Amino acid sequence: MYRFAWIPCWIPICFLAIFSSPAAQQDRALLNQYCVGCHNAKVHNGGIALDSVNVDNIQQNPEIWERVARRLSARNMPPAGLPRPNEIAYKSLLTGLQQGLDQLVVNNPNPGRTDTFRRLNRTEYQNVIRDLLAIDVDVTALLPSDESSHGFDNVTVGDLSPTLLERYLNAAQAISRRVIGIPPRSPGGNLIQLPPDRTQEEHVEGLPFGTRGGAKIPYTFPMDAKYDIQLRLARDRNEHVEGLKEPHEVELTLDGERVKLFTVKPPPPGNDHSAADQHLTIRIPVTAGPHTLTVSFLKKQSALLETERQPYQAHFNMDRHPRPQPALYSISINGPYQPTGPGDTPSRRRLFVCHPTNPKNEDACAQQILSTLLRRAYRRPVTPADLKMPLQFFNNARKEEGFDNGIEMALRAVLVSPEFLFRVEQDPANIAPKTAYRISDVELASRLSFFLWSSIPDDALLDAAIAGKLRTPAVLEQHTRRMLADPRSNVLVSNFAEQWLHLRNLASTTPDMRVFPDFDDNLRQSFLKETELFFESILREDRNVLDLLRANYTFINERLARHYGIPNIYGSRFRRINFDENSNRGGLLRQGSILTVTSYATRTSPVIRGKWILDNILGVPPPPPPASVPALKEHEGIGKNLTMRQRMAQHRDSPACSGCHQLMDPVGFSLENYDGVGRWRSNDESANPIDASGSLPDGSKFAGVAGLQQALLSHPESFVTTLSEKLLTYGLGRGVGSYDAPAVRKIVRESQAKDFRFSSVILGVVNSTPFQMRRSQ
């Protein structure tokens, strides 16, 4: 029996019977030449040992063969440096292996098993409250963040600790009182603080023209009443208002109408600044419901002329980035004072589907309100038993405080009900263990809505599910396309893409001011918005998902254009611009958001960038590092003028590190032309010329980001597979296993026939076996 080692361990040569093409047959002699040397060297790849595996029957160990197929698909076998079969041989072996694995699940599907109980995470809870009650509530102060698993925070959400339950109880009380318009026992307040590293020298998008700095604050006022609005200006560590050297005017608007124009003046010489902004307060009447407050400074003509002539610089810190003009620090909103009623708010209109004309009609109206509410909140038909408890809460509170308070107490009970807080998928009665079964239409509706909207089904989707029509392929596709076209599908940008691409890490990313003095929150937010608008364009225009890597356009404003060195872009508005084929900007790999979150505070990191690409683009993440691996010394080589490549050699030379670093580092080196905040450079910080040559684990070599992009696109199915797996993980709320691989391959094949359009990948996930079925316990 012959053995060859370009599959990670040793597969007997009889497995080559799946080769059918003449070219593949010719490769057998070459493959045999690899065997003895590699076997003696005990070459392993990916931790897969095949010594004891029966290669004549892949049905016995499909999970191992799926790992082999995955490594072959990424061309990770044989290891770099060993002779390789040609591309025809690769494709022939991979096709035969995948067809054999796919055939196994035709009659015996394994859809995997989602958790029976899955709690709404914080993002889902906020979206559900918005769609259920027509009110936008920032729940970050009410609920803790959720832990991430498999890259997403909707996976490990099966628990509900007593502490977390108490937080949900408090959230339910706060939300229900705001929806109904119940006055608080005493006026309360909200404080909105701006990031301390935000520069406020230029116009802010969404604020009036001719102004600079400030903030735009969407805010829902709970009642028709009067409210105190108080502004506070940014101060330095000496409690002096920064940049206050001459009078400045501060404009406060409500829904676009000026409320007050304040003037702030520097105090007389020798006086402190404690009273400089004490007069920036006003009490105004506001109707209940959503409104928009804006605060901004009227821009001085001298400032306009100065900033036009000088390059942009960050201004937010008295030592390194002193503010030349005052800046807004916070806005506080206090009230309600002298309330006159709950008002006519969108949330009351959404909840109160009827109004009793007299006390005799209150019971019937309450039942109608709660029946409508529970159907949406529980995402299923409502039974008389479901209404019993909320109606009991309603009756008890109504006796003491009236109809509205009764509805508020019933709403509070619904918001803490397990039927609301948890998505429940139970096995059918009397089903055999480990049996694959189709989930119900109602369960499918919830899966679809939480996948595309991170929220509850709307009435149209729920109606189709209750009628038993949703599973019909044409109906399911129609609803999927309808939901993708809905603005609520933007959560695929803000929730899915931001987690997949690690964009949430931007908020906590703070590059060293000594190394990157021009970095501020304005640039951070511009990075984020560029990638959000870019991903949204792929979604809304239903583009080929490969355009995420190869697109020749992006979205920028003046701040980002200056950072990238792109001329003739002015103003805070983001606009789409196209690049020529030789540009160093375009797809995800060239965007400042990705390049910054994959860097350290003081420098680039070929390791982090390489790992990010292997994990999120190719879908072949390296194993975690051993616990004993030392960190790269930040000051290693000072005075020696070492390049990053030379400094990284210490890890590649270590036996404990070399295996993974030889995979990650060459990929990351290809992005070295971008510094730690995504600016293009030809020389590193030590004035050494950048060597951006790199390679992929398949052995392909290239130079720079253009070469990396071309190498990744040479096997487009690898990227589409990774994207499909990420979407499936996000949509199911569980990690993807080897048993899901046939379904993923089907998604890729069917989307390829439709030019890999974004909608085709989404529809492939929705129509997949794991999405529509479940395995019993």
Beta strands in 78-210 (DSSP E): 117-119, 188-193
Interval 267-285 mean pLDDT: 94
Q: What is the pLDDT of residues 203-240, one digit of tens each?
A: 999 999 999 999 999 999 999 999 999 999 999 999 99
**Residue 11: what pLDDT?**
41
Is a pLDDT exceeding 50 seen at residue 335? yes
- Average model confidence (pLDDT) across the chain: 89
Please, are residues 602 and 634 in contact by the beta-carbon 8 Å criterion?
Answer: yes
Is a pLDDT exceeding 60 seen at residue 312? no
pLDDT level of residue 642 (50, 70, 90 thresholds)? confident
Rounded-to-integer distance, Cα 218 and Cα 366, Å = 32
Encoded tokens for 355? 């109004």
Highest mean pLDDT (candidates 299-308, 317-326, 414-423): 414-423
Interval 67-72 mean pLDDT: 85
Residue 640 phi/psi, 5-degree rounding, is -100, -10
Q: What is the pLDDT of residues 348-389, one digit of tens each?
A: 999 999 999 999 999 999 999 999 999 999 999 999 999 999
**Residue 640: what pLDDT?**
60
Encoded tokens for 110? 């394994």
Cα dihedral sign, 427-429-434-439: negative
Lowest mean pLDDT among 214-218, 567-571, 628-632: 628-632
Is a pLDDT exceeding 90 seen at residue 19? no
Distances (CA, A) of 170 to 117, 163, 179, 396, 525: 22, 11, 14, 20, 32
pLDDT level of residue 63 (50, 70, 90 thresholds)? confident
Q: Which amino acid is at 464?
A: A
Is a pLDDT exceeding 50 seen at residue 306? no
Lowest mean pLDDT among 44-53, 312-321, 605-614, 698-707: 44-53
Helices then strands, each counted (H, E), the chain: 28, 18
Q: 71 or 294, which is more confident?
A: 294
**Residue 221: what pLDDT?**
97
pLDDT level of residue 29 (50, 70, 90 thresholds)? very low
**Residue 357: what pLDDT?**
93
Rounded-to-integer distance, Cα 203 and Cα 272, Å = 29
| Per-residue H/E/C for 213-263 | EEEEEEEEECCEEEEEEEEEECECCCCCECCCCCCEEEEEEECCEEEEEEE
pTM for this entry: 0.91
Rounded-to-integer distance, Cα 521 and Cα 196, Å = 8
Distances (CA, A) of 323 to 88, 233, 263: 63, 12, 18
What pairing do the DSSP bridges indicate for beta strands 553-556 and 436-438? unpaired
**Residue 456: what pLDDT?**
98
Rounded-to-integer distance, Cα 430 and Cα 323, Å = 71
Encoded tokens for 84? 């390789």
Rounded-to-integer distance, Cα 95 and Cα 740, Å = 17
Q: What is the pLDDT of residues 114-132, one digit of tens each?
A: 999 999 999 999 999 999 9
Encoded tokens for 215? 């903030």
Please, are residues 728 and 761 in contact by the beta-carbon 8 Å criterion?
Answer: no
pLDDT level of residue 18 (50, 70, 90 thresholds)? very low
**Residue 401: what pLDDT?**
93
Is a pLDDT exceeding 90 seen at residue 769? yes
Residue 507 phi/psi, 5-degree rounding, is -60, -35
Contacts of 747 by beta carbon, 8 Å cutoff, 6+ apart: 724, 728, 761, 764, 765, 768
Nearest CA to 594 out of 684, 720, 505 is that of 505
Please, are residues 111 and 775 in contact by the beta-carbon 8 Å criterion?
Answer: yes
Q: What is the pLDDT of residues 710-767, one digit of tens each?
A: 999 999 999 999 999 999 999 999 999 999 999 999 999 999 999 999 999 999 999 9
H/E stretch holding 296: strand 289-298
Rounded-to-integer distance, Cα 521 and Cα 288, Å = 32
- Work out the number of other CB atoms within 10 angstroms of the CB of residue 627: 5
Is a pLDDT exceeding 70 seen at residue 30? no
Rounded-to-integer distance, Cα 109 and Cα 102, Å = 10
Share of the chain above pLDDT 70, in %: 88
Q: Cα 740 to the chain's mean position, in Å?
A: 23
Interval 187-210 mean pLDDT: 95
Highest mean pLDDT (candidates 578-582, 630-634, 654-658): 578-582
Q: 159 or 650, which is more confident?
A: 159
**Residue 729: what pLDDT?**
98
Rounded-to-integer distance, Cα 49 and Cα 45, Å = 9
Q: Which amino acid is at 322?
A: P
pLDDT level of residue 22 (50, 70, 90 thresholds)? very low
pLDDT level of residue 303 (50, 70, 90 thresholds)? very low
| Per-residue H/E/C for 618-669 | CCCCCCCCCCCCCCCCCCCCCCCCCCHHHHHHHHHCCHHHHHHHHHHHHHHH
Is a pLDDT exceeding 60 seen at residue 106? yes
Q: What is the pLDDT of residues 445-504, one digit of tens each?
A: 999 999 999 999 999 999 999 999 999 999 999 999 999 999 999 999 999 999 999 999
